[in-house]
């Protein structure tokens, strides 16, 4: 595998390298895992924090540069699963939801993700501002699709 990064270095000094291989994204040079669930989502959470990830545009720049350097198609960046750490935050890491809510506008929503985020935003466990930011994006997506979510 050819590795890209680091996307960030976490507080413990671990560098988050990712790889695009045979149509899938992986994380963790030492023990590569597909970026798809909670385990990989937790590893990517610091990316959402400005001090570590330096924002969405910075992450895109790192990924594009790495794909190019590795001789891969830069368009693969469009398939990077930015939704995974966002879902992980809303699902099981409520302390990260305020960061995740800033990134919702950057991910490609589908019915499952939009429904999930809408339902999670009904929970008063999360800060009101984070819920409002998220719902603004989700509700705009739903309106454009002609969908209505009910509380």
Domain residue extents for the chain: 3-108
Q: Is 99 left (phi over 0), alpha (psi -120 to 50) or beta?
A: alpha
- Other CB atoms within a 10 A radius of the CB of residue 87 amount to 21
pTM of the model: 0.95
For residue range 105-131, what is the model confidence (pLDDT) as tens digits?
999 999 999 999 999 999 888 999 999
Question: What SS3 string covers 75-123?
Answer: HHHHHCCCHHHHHHHHHHCHHHHHHHHHHHHHCCCCHHHHHHHHHHCCC
For residue range 32-87, what is the model confidence (pLDDT) as tens digits?
999 999 999 999 999 999 999 999 999 999 999 999 999 999 999 999 999 999 99
- Cα–Cα distance, 132 to 107 (Å, whole number): 17
Report which DSSP code applies to 46.
Answer: G
């Amino acid at each position: 595998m050819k590795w890209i990064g680091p996307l960030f270095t976490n507080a413990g000094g671990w560098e988050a390298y990712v790889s695009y291989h045979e149509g899938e994204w992986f994380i963790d040079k030492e023990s590569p895992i597909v970026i798809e669930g909670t385990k990989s989502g937790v590893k990517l959470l610091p990316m959402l924090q400005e001090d570590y990830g330096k924002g969405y545009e910075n992450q895109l720049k790192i990924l594009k540069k790495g794909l190019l350097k590795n001789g891969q198609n830069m368009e693969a960046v469009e398939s990077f699963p930015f939704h995974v750490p966002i879902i992980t935050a809303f699902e099981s890491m409520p302390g990260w939801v305020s960061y995740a809510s800033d990134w919702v506008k950057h991910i490609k929503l589908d019915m499952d993700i939009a429904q999930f985020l809408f339902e999670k935003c009904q929970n008063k466990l999360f800060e009101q501002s984070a819920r409002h930011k998220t719902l603004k994006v989700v509700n705009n997506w739903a309106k454009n699709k002609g969908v209505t979510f009910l509380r």
